[in-house]
Amino acid sequence: MTTAAIIVAAGRGTRAGGEVSKQWQVIAGKTVVEHTLDLFEAHVGIDEIVLVVSATDMDHVDRLGLAGRAQIAIGGDERSASVLNGLSKTNADRVLIHDGARCCCPASVIDRVLDGLDANPAVAPALAVMDALWTGEDGRVTGVQDRTGLFRAQTPQGFHTDVLRDAHAAHGKGAADDVAVARAAGIDVAIVHGDAQNIKITTPDDFARAAAILETLMDIRTGNGFDVHRFGDGDHVILCGVKIPHDRGLQGHSDADVGMHTVTDAIYGALCRGDIGQHFPPSDPQWKGADSVIFLEHACGLARDMGFTITHMDCTLICEFPKIGPVAQSMRDRMADIMSLDVDRVSVKATTSERLGFTGRGEGIAALATVTLVKS
């Protein structure tokens, strides 16, 4: 039994405001559509994804590389035509039809819909209406509406594929959603519990609500690093990838780049993957004098392999000398290049210990670093 998710994102969404349609606006670092795709890509019960977009939005599809994440179908002149075009792209046994503007749907809702399809030809999530309902006209209450048996519809709405295809072919235009199409065809639709977080972005205020929800759903990690290297013989130090002339060098098994080592350890810490010494043991002679770029690139690659994006790095160098200010920008540029980050997301700064402790006595340099990682 195979299941396809059809994400319908071909509408214009003018009530949401903005220079582009709501599905292409950015929330928490990604477009609404990308967040919605994430939901179904991460779910083990989904075998394939079809994304239905307007022909005029293919530039967004190309720019974001969405054709590599889903089959692309071109939307019709109204919703039911878009769904039919999406259905034409899949041979899956079951389909989940989902609004592209519902980017906060919990996996538990998808679970309930899939479980419901084991015993029903059609299933839809919904929430019972809890508020009092009025009728009104010209800004005045004209009556009270009984809320018994009323539900707020959500998506994804799930169907056996052949059943939904036949229902759409018979219905034609004008349906509010796929449940309406199924009901018109006499198909029994089971209701499963939805979720209050599963909001549909409709108005400008909904973007802030969605952002707050997404922040609670995102896997955001922070890692800290600390390292120390003592001074010894030499005529330069290497800090954050930049060679700085100095009357002494830093001692270490590699090139002793205390700044880069600290950032590397912070990344390993955020990933819960040990420390630099576990990955590159100082007892191994192959790392003697090694360029610390090797270590940092390994940590960044491990983050990518585990599905994380490094979004920010902050490194503080603690020393009386050499002076860091004149070369701090060069350090930021070098670290940003290695980590594939915009330089505005990379901070390198320095402080002294007011001549206290080993750094104050000029015996060495210490470094602190913090990195932030977000599950891609």
The CATH number given to whatever domain includes residue 55 is 3.90.550.10
Tens digit of pLDDT at every position of the chain (376 positions):
999 999 999 998 777 888 899 999 999 889 999 999 999 998 999 999 999 999 999 999 999 999 999 999 999 999 999 999 999 999 999 999 999 999 999 999 999 999 999 999 999 999 999 999 999 999 999 999 999 999 999 999 999 999 999 999 899 888 889 999 999 999 999 999 999 999 999 999 999 999 999 877 778 899 999 999 999 999 999 999 999 999 999 999 899 999 999 999 999 999 999 999 999 998 899 999 999 999 999 999 999 999 899 999 999 999 999 999 999 999 999 999 999 999 999 999 999 999 999 999 999 999 999 999 988 6
Label residues 65-97 b or e (16+ Cβ within 10 Å = b).
Answer: ebeebbebbbbbeebbbbbbbbbebbebebbbb
Dist. CA 252–CA 282, nearest whole Å: 9
| pTM exceeds 0.85 for this model | no
Quote the domain boundaries for residue 224: 220-375
Q: Which of 217, 243, 258 is the last residue of a domain?
A: 217
> Which one of 201, 217, 233 terminates a domain?
217
Same domain, 141 and 184: yes
CATH number at residue 286: 3.30.1330.50
Residues 6+ apart with CB under 8 A from 208: none
Of 217, 252, 278, which one is at a domain's C-terminal end? 217
**Distance between CA atoms of residues 355 and 373, nearest Å:** 34
